[in-house]
Amino acid sequence: MLIGNYKESYAADEALFRTPAVRAWMGVLAVALVVFPFLAGDYLLYLANLVGVLAIAALGLNILTGFTGQISLGHAAFMGVGAYTTAFLAARLGLPFWIAVPAGGAGACLAGMVVGVPSLRIKGLYLAIATLAAQVVAEWVFTNWTAVTGGIRGLNVPAARLLGFPFDTDRRIYFFIVGLAALHATFASNLFRTRIGRAFIAVRDRDLSAELMGVNLFRTKILSFMISSYYAGIAGGLWVYFTKVVTPENFPLSLSIQFLAMVIVGGLGSVKGTLYGAVFVTLVPEVLKAGTQSLRPLFPEAMSWLYPLRDILFGAMIVGFLVFEPHGLAEMWNRTKRFFALWPFEK
């Protein structure tokens, strides 16, 4: 039983993973992530990759919405900007992925900077509507700027290659996706231990007080938009190499809303919560589907209403979260841990 957590050096105080138990579990997780692709089949690998890509984008949204308090309904648009930048560079100019993916991040980052400008004047729901405009404009551009985006047919992208080695299967690209997801999650965790990250939180909690304390509101909000969109852009770039094709229909408003759902279900203002949220929102519908699928032998004629039941159930689960645990999966996990910290003794 853990009764205290004493630190004897600054290094220990600054460590990201503070207790031996946490370090051990992170080690287990790392090993599991490396072993997973060799054990999992096509289907699970595909889902894992999807979760990885969406998690990176959702991390970006949590930085903006969860940590800086700026609501965005245009996150899918930034992912689209990143995806198209990457796809254009890779398919039309033939640049390698290690240039195209960061360039996707940079492209989205610039778009985020522009879209973030109104955030100085408007907040809350008004800002949400302003970002919604970005979503609509981006979708229009994807569809109509045919010379660059390939119009409605989109762009086909060749597999990523490193030193002649192709990342053409789900198993190969998995390492690429999980590696970048881990990197970006670590970066996000560390961000909120820096002055900039603290400034984000200060702006979220009370922007006037933050300004009185010397936080430059405009700079901070724009920076948050930029970092957030950069994450989305990287996710978009990875997504392109993962699916090998990009069309305007891949980044609809519903995807933006799905990102918000991930962040809310996972826990606003929590990095690990975002990861839980991405897993939950992507996998639970699949699990529910498998459930309804298993009922098929019993009701062979009833599938046309059993399948929609899954969506209703999923919706009910999200409402349940908001009512019973507004702080999301991250907080549920923390409570579970606190319970077991003293178990089997009681408080």
Partner 1 sequence: MRTHRTTKLFAAALAAAALAPAALAEEEIRIGACQPITGRFAFAGVNINAGLQDYLSWANEQGLVKGKKLTYIYEDSGYDTDKAVATFKKIMAQYSPVIMYGESTGLGKAIAPELNSRYKVLYASASFSSELADPKTHPYSFVSGPTYSDMFGILLDYIARNPKGKGKPRVAFFYSDTEFGKDPIAHAKKRAAELGVEVVAEIVTKVGAVDVTTEVLTLKKAQPDFVIFQGYVLAPIPEVIRGARDHGLATTFMGTFWSVDKSIIDKLGQDAEGYMGVNPYAYYYEDAPGIVAMRKYNERVHPGEKYRPNSYIQGWFTGMVYVEAIRRVVAAGKPVTGDNLKDALGTIQDWDTGGVTGKVNFVNNKAGVGRVYRANVQKGVFEPASDWIYVK
The residues binding partner 1 (CB under 8 A) are 41-43, 46-47, 50, 143-144, 151-154, 156, 159, 168-170, 243-245, 247-250, 285-286, 289, 292-293, 303-304, 307-308, 310-311
Instruction: Look up tokens 């990250």; give the residue.
Output: 197
Please spell the DSSP secondary structure of 221-251, one letter per residue: HHHHHHHHHHHHHHHHHHHHHHHSEE-GGGS
β-strand partners of 167: 160
Q: How far is the CB of 123 from partner 1 (least distance, A)?
A: 30
Q: How far is the CB of 144 from partner 1 (least distance, A)?
A: 8
- Closer residue to partner 1 (CB): 211 or 286: 286
- Closer residue to partner 1 (CB): 169 or 190: 169
Cis peptide before 344 (omega within 30 of 0): yes
Q: How far is the CB of 92 from partner 1 (least distance, A)?
A: 17
- Closer residue to partner 1 (CB): 156 or 189: 156
Q: How far is the CB of 308 from partner 1 (least distance, A)?
A: 5
Cα–Cα separations (whole angstroms), residue 32 to 27, 177, 336: 9, 15, 22
Please tell me the distance from the alpha carbon of residue 89 to that of residue 341, in angstroms, as a whole number: 51
* DSSP state letter for 278: H
Nearest to 178 by CA among 9, 292, 338, 47: 47
- Closer residue to partner 1 (CB): 44 or 332: 44
- Closer residue to partner 1 (CB): 36 or 192: 36
- Closer residue to partner 1 (CB): 9 or 304: 304
Nearby residues of 299 by Cβ (< 8 Å), 6 or more positions away: 306
- Closer residue to partner 1 (CB): 300 or 344: 300
- Closer residue to partner 1 (CB): 36 or 307: 307
Could you tell me the two tokens for 135?
A: 């979503």
Q: How far is the CB of 75 from partner 1 (least distance, A)?
A: 16
Please tell me the distance from the alpha carbon of residue 5 to that of residue 112, in angstroms, as a whole number: 41
Q: How far is CA 77 from the centre of its chain?
A: 14
**Overall residue count recorded for the chain in this entry:** 347
Residues 159, 166 contacting (CB under 8 angstroms): yes
Q: How far is the CB of 86 from partner 1 (least distance, A)?
A: 16
Q: How far is the CB of 272 from partner 1 (least distance, A)?
A: 23
Please tell me the distance from the alpha carbon of residue 320 to that of residue 104, in angstroms, as a whole number: 37
Nearest to 175 by CA among 33, 331, 307, 347: 33
Q: How far is the CB of 146 from partner 1 (least distance, A)?
A: 10
